[in-house]
Structure 1
């Protein structure tokens, strides 16, 4: 039941979609829009916590969804980076 989240959407704490799922979809939309380029870091966990008013565990869970989907990868002590596009993925427009 994931709806189409816009890159500039806010987290709806009262909505039917869990906050971590909302954040994952918002970050996915921001990557697709080109906010972050391949092999470049996305906003840090603490920045996302502040920006979206979520708990650290919620942000980690959202990032884990994107890692599982192959959209980002994490480097210990360095952060989370946008994965290079694969043949199945559409490059940002």
Structure 2
């Protein structure tokens, strides 16, 4: 399902909140809200912005990391990964 980058979480939607957030964050990356190899907002900030629990936000981020949209640097944060077609190759960023 395609999500609007400005969408809000719909509690009674058929998709669980973590899937909705993952779709919204994916759309924000695609729109260019955050530059490649630059951090996205912290888990805490995403929890506040979308009124979700930390485990839900973490599950969304894990899904996007698994899909190659984001990457995590321990003790530093979550960053936007280079997407296929953006540069020489879509390498694992670390």
State the TM-score, normalized to the length of structure 2: 0.88
Q: How many pairs were matched up?
A: 87
CA contact (8 A) 2:39 2:80 kept: yes
Q: Which runs of 5 or more residues in structure 1 are unaligned?
A: none
Q: Which runs of 5 or more residues in structure 2 are unaligned?
A: none
Deviation at 1:86? 2.2
Give the structure 2 partner of residue 17 of structure 1: 15
2-side partners of 1:35 and 1:47: how far apart? 15
2-side partners of 1:85 and 1:14: how far apart? 32
2-side partners of 1:46 and 1:22: how far apart? 17
Displaced runs of 4 or more, over 6 A: none
Q: Equivalences for 1:43-82 in 2 at 5 Å?
A: 43-82=41-80
Alignment RMSD, CA only? 1.4
**Could you say what secondary structure the match of 1:35 adopts?**
coil
State the TM-score, normalized to the length of structure 1: 0.89
